[in-house]
Structure 1
Amino acid sequence: MLDKRKDKFWKRYISIISFVGLSIVIGIVIILNTNIYRPITNAPVELVLGASDEVVRENIFVELPTIYSDTLTRGWENWSWDTHLDFSSYVSLERDNSIRVEFNKPNSGFMIHAPHFNTSPYKSIKLSVFVDNDKTKNDLLIEITDVDGKTIGNQPLPWYTDEKILKPNVWYDLIIPLANLNANNIKIGGISIISNEPSVIFLDDIRFGDENISFPKWANDSYDADYLLTDYFEPINLPYISDFYNKPNDWKTENGIIENTFNKMRVNTATDSNYAFFKLNGGHFWFNYRYTIYTDWAEGDSINLLARYTPENFFSCSFFDDGKNVILYQFQNGKQIELGSSPNYLKTRKYKWTSTDSLGIEVVGDTVSCFSNGEVKVTHKAIFPMPLVGTVALEMWSPLNNENSMIINQVKVEAI
C-alpha cells in the first residue's frame, strides 16, 4: 500500500514539473516572437512618456541620415505620383541597387515621405542621379514639403553640378544645402524629385549630410507656388514651333497689340505707349534652349528677346540698328546688369528694319548668347546666380509712342 502511494506521489510530481517546464518554454517562445523577431514595418512606434502631471503620446521615427542605400530606410514611405519605380535596378557595378524612376507624365514626381523628420542635426541633402536619355535633362527639381504637405522650398538639380546641366549616362553626386531649400532646423514631411517631361532617371545614395557647405542659392525667388498658381498655363513641351496666327492664345499680351496681317502676326505698341511686351504661356519649366523669331520687317528703336523669364529675373538680348548691334543684359530682382555687347558696338538711330530675317537668344547652363541672322553677336556667362528655368518673351521699345511694329512669320524654341 505504501509503495502504491509513493508511485502516485511521484507521478503527480513529475506531471506538475512537466507542466511548469512546458509553460516556461511557451512563454519564452512568445517573448522571442513578439520582441526579438518582430517584423519591421514603416508604421510609427507609439511610446507613452511620463511628463509631470500628464501622459504625453508621440510618434517616434528612426531618424538616421540615410534615406536610401540599396533599400529604403525604415520610416520612409513611397508617395510618388504618375511614376513607375523599381527599387533594385542595375545601372553599373558601383550602383547595383539604385532606384529606376520612370516619369510617365509632365510634372510627375518621385516622392519619399516621413512625417515629422527633424533636420536639425544635418546641413545638407546628398543624392546621386543618372539620366537615362540621349540628351541633357535639366528639368529636374528637388522639392521639400513640411509636415502639412506644403512646399517650403525647391531647387533645380542641375544648378548643383559644375556645368549647370545634367548630361545623359553620367552619375552626378550632388550636395544641396538645406538652407537653400528653407529646410534647415525644422521638421519636414517629404522630399520630391519632379520632372517637367516624361523621362527615365536613376537615383541612389539619398541621405542627409553634415557638410556645412556654402553654395549660392538658385536666385530666382519669383519661381514659387504663388507665381505658378496666379500665372499658370498648360505646360508646353519642346520643341515649340508657332506662326502666331495658328496659336495666338499661347501668348499673353501686356501693353501691346497682336493683329492678323495676311495670315502673319503683326505686333505693335499701343497708340498711347512706347513699350510692348508679349510672353509665351506654358514655358515656365524650360531649361536650356534656343529661342528664335523669324521676321519680315520691323520698325522701332529696339527689339528685345527674353529667355528664362520669370518676373524680375531673366536674360535679354536687346537688338538695335536692324539687328546689327546688340546688348546682352541680365536682370536679377529687377536690377539690370550689362553682360556684354556686339564687337565695335555703336548705337545709331535706324528705325526701319529690312535686312533682318531672324533674331535669337540661347541659354545653356550659365552661358547666354545673342544671334542675328544666325550669327552669334555676343556670348557671356552670367555674373550673378542665374534662373535655370523660365519661359520666353518679346519686348519692343522706342522713345516716342506708337513707333514700334513688326511682322513675325514664325517663333521657334528648341531644347539643347
Structure 2
Amino acid sequence: MAQPQDTALFSVNPIDRLPFELISDIFSISEQAHGDEWRLTPHETCPAAICSVSKRWKEIALATPLLWTHGKVSGPETLLQAIEWARRSEPYELHVEITLFEWQDAFRYLWAYNTRIVDIEFDGMGAHIELKDMALLSPFSNTLRHLCISLIKFPSADSLLEYLASCKELVALDIQSSTTGEEWMSEEEHTQSSARAITLEKLEDLALPANSLGERILRHIITPRLHNARKSFTSPAFVKTGGDLWIKKGHISLANTDETLISKLLPLVSDVRVLTLEYPPDGQGRIVEFCTVLLRQLGKTIRFFPLPHPGSLWNQGGQIPLPALHTLRLVNYPYLVDPARRHVFRPRDIPPQFPVTDLGLMFMARTEWESEGRTDLLSKLHFEGKRPVDWGERGELVVEQLRREGITVTTQFTN
C-alpha cells in the first residue's frame, strides 16, 4: 500500500524542485532555440516572458547571462534596456539589432561593450549615413563577425570599404537593401579596381544589392573563403530565388535599353542557373525592349568580370555573361526576329550553320566562346505561353539549327 505523501512538497510546481543551475541551463537553451521567434513580436522577449512567471524564475533569469545576449534598440526606452541587457550578459558575446531614426546615440552607448559585440543588425529606415558617421562603427570592427545594414544610402562605396577593411573577423555581410548616390563604375574605374582591392579573409556569406553599390563592393573585395553570395533586386520586375532569376512584366528601374547598364547588371547575378524572361501577352511595353537587349548581351563578352577568389579575381580577358546559366525559358516570346530589324535578317542572309536571329546570334556567340576552350553550360531552351508571331516562318529552322549545336529545345505553347 502506498505511503502518504507530503502534500506540502507537491504543492510546489515540479519544475521549481529542480536545482538553480539546471533551471538556468533550461532558460539558456530556450533562448537559443526560440529567441528569434520571440524577437519577431513587437513588445515581448523570451527573457521578459520568463521573468513574468514567478519571483524565483525572475531571480534565476537575472543571474543567467546567456539569456541577455541579444539586444534590440528601437527607441530611448529600449536603448536603456539594451544597455542593461549588455551588463547582465557579461562576459558573453553580444548580438545587437538597431532600428530607429536617432541611431547615433545607440552606438555611442554601446561602445563600452564593443569587445563583446559580434553581431550588428542596423536598419537605417531610409536614413543617410554620412562619412563621419561610419566612425561610430569603428569600435566594433575588431570583434564583429556578422554585419547587416538595411535601407541605408551610403555617400560612397569607399566609406563602407574603408570600414570593412578593418573588420578582420567578419564572416557574414548583408547590405542587399542599401544603395549609394554614385553612378555605375566607368571602365577606367574597372581597370583600377584590382589595385585598390581589400581582402576579407574570413568572409563566407555575402548579400549584395544588384545596383552600383553592389558592383563597387564586388569589384573591390577578395574573398578566399566565400561560399554563399546572394544578390537582390528592389524592382518588382526581377524575382531571384537561389539560382533562378525571373524577369517579368513590371516597372523596370534600370535605364531599360541601356546596353552598358545591362552589362554591368549581369556580373552581379553570375550565379544564375535558370533565367526566365516573361513577356506581356500583347508583346508591347518597355519590358520587351529590355529583354531583347538583355538577350543580345548574353552573347557578348564582359570585361573585368569579378570572380570571388584570388589569382583570377579580375579576368581581364573577359567572361561570358551568366557563366552558370544552363537553362533559358522564354514565356510569351513575341517574335523570333524583331520587326524593326527584319531588313537585317533577310532569308538569304541565313548561314547554313545558324539562323540569323537575335536568339540565334546569342547562341552562336556563346558557342564560339566555348570553341576557344572555355566552358558554356547553356544547353536548354524552353518556349512556353503564346507562340511567337513569326514562328511559322522561322520556328522550325531555329529549332533544327539549335539542336544541331547540341541545344535541347522544348515548347509548350498555349495557341
Relative to its length, the structure with more helix (as a share) is 2
Q: TM-score, length-normalised on structure 1?
A: 0.26
Instruction: Using CA pairs under 8 Å that are at least 6 residues apart, name the structure with larger relative contact order, 1 or 2.
Output: 1
Relative to its length, the structure with more strand (as a share) is 1
